[in-house]
Amino acid sequence: MTLKIETQKFSVADRFLEYVQIDTQSDPYSDTYPSTGKQKDLGRILVSQLLEMGISDAHLDEYGYVYATLPSNSEKKVPVICFCAHMDTSPDCSGSGVKPIVHQNYQGEDIVLPDDPGQVLRQSDHPDLKKQIGNDIITASGTTLLGADNKAGVAEIMDAVRLLLLHPEIKHGDIRILFTPDEEIGRGVDKLDIAKLNADFGYTVDGETLGSIEDETFSADAMTVRIKGVSVHPGFAKGSMYSAIKIAAELLTRLPKDRLAPEATSGKEGFVHPVAIQGTVEEAQIQFIIRDFDDQKLVAHEEEVENITRETLQDYPGCSYQIVVTEQYRNMKNVLKDFPDIIDIGVEAMQRLGIEPIRRSIRGGTDGSRLSFMGLPCPNIFAGEHAFHGKQEWVSVQDMQKAVLTIITIAQIWEEKAS
């Protein structure tokens, strides 16, 4: 059965325009949950809108998570699917006083953002705009991000729920709705109650281009290299002082430059990346992030940094080093490869809607990578958000409408295939 429902032209967009005006920026320097109390402002609105629709178990918990269930309307035993989006916006760019603008019927022209005319969206910088001719593009006004990452996903899930309630002829199992705080600072699932969620698997709705479906992320470790030097009074240091600062600097210059660096890699290539350094003559510390899609290669990259460290230290008698590696997240493909139906049905939903599916891997992580390892296999489907974390962020109304239909069709196909 193909889907025959009209997404009223502006309903998902209306929701989106409302949500982006609520400041929900997260804060990596806070140690509270959620990291900023204002994220709950949006959570409370979502809960009251869900309750108004008749979703009676919708609630916001003390950590800022919104949980809700659209109950099954099927006689069959359908798996419980979770649709998940995050409510916070990136700390990299202001999210306060967002003034969204709808540029109707885009015809390829430059889009100038009125509050800072230096901010211009051009097709040369945003090649995905070429596929948006005739669509309605939403941007911010030039001084803030838009927040399509991930309020597009929030609005799409909300509108899918509304439409499913309006169309009881579309059969589906229990659908769990989850909105998380603090995804942008890597804490999106820290306080998630996975037992309470009680879903079989999920889809995060936080992807970019129309049709994208992502089942692969980086595997990620953090690595700290601590170097002990030899400190002597500088007036009497000839032949006996070995500055940890200089050793650290030398180590950094020995890192590969034309490979294994973020600025030299793309696609499936991994990297080692120093992100912070501090030090005295006595001791210096370099913080790295290590990334690869393959866990064995990840370990090989770590060994390479260790080898460079050892070789560097050889020239400095009396100096030593220590390396600490901590796991950050793992490639969700390791989990998802055992559940091919989850991706296959996502792809089938898009094909039924005439959307060309784009299988992608993400050079980063998502809530989904951590959820997958918590027992909730969870690929990422498109929300339509583009150029996120910056002032030129944009999304189109038509892509959001297609994401709504994709969510509905995924739920519908799982019901059809159940017995």
Q: Residues in the site for Zn ion, rule: CB under 5 A?
A: 149-150, 206
**How many helices and strands, by DSSP H and E, does the chain display?**
10, 17
Q: Whose Cβ is closer to Zn ion: residue 23's or residue 149's?
A: 149
Q: Is 31 a catalytic residue?
A: no
Considering the complex, what minimum distance in angstroms separates the CB of residue 86 from Zn ion?
Answer: 6
Considering the complex, what minimum distance in angstroms separates the CB of residue 207 from Zn ion?
Answer: 9
DSSP string of 3-34, one letter each residue? ------TTHHHHHHHHHHTS--B--TT--SSS
The whole-angstrom separation of Cα 116 and Cα 418 is 53
Annotated active-site residue in 149, 156, 174, 183: 183
Alpha helices in 236-388 (DSSP H): 244-253, 295-313, 333-336, 340-352, 367-373
120 with 112: CB under 8 angstroms? yes
Please, which residues bridge with residue 329 across strands?
220
Considering the complex, what minimum distance in angstroms separates the CB of residue 367 from Zn ion?
Answer: 8
Q: Is 367 a catalytic residue?
A: no
- Please count the other Cβ atoms lying within 10 Å of the Cβ belonging to residue 158: 25
Considering the complex, what minimum distance in angstroms separates the CB of residue 206 from Zn ion?
Answer: 4
Considering the complex, what minimum distance in angstroms separates the CB of residue 95 from Zn ion?
Answer: 13
Annotated active-site residue in 88, 184, 206, 208: 88
What residue type is assigned to position 227 of the chain?
I
Q: Whose Cβ is closer to Zn ion: residue 149's or residue 302's?
A: 149
Q: Quick one: 192 exposed, middle or buried, by C-beta within 10 A (0-12, 13-18, 19+)?
A: buried
C-alpha to C-alpha distances, 84 to 177, 204, 284, 380, nearest whole angstrom: 6, 5, 41, 9
Q: Whose Cβ is closer to Zn ion: residue 242's or residue 388's?
A: 388
Q: Whose Cβ is closer to Zn ion: residue 182's or residue 221's?
A: 182
Q: Whose Cβ is closer to Zn ion: residue 150's or residue 398's?
A: 150
The whole-angstrom separation of Cα 125 and Cα 385 is 15
Q: Is 142 helix (H, G, I), strand (E, B) or coil?
A: coil
Q: Whose Cβ is closer to Zn ion: residue 206's or residue 393's?
A: 206
Considering the complex, what minimum distance in angstroms separates the CB of residue 124 from Zn ion?
Answer: 25
270 with 331: CB under 8 angstroms? no
Catalogue the active-site residues: 88, 183
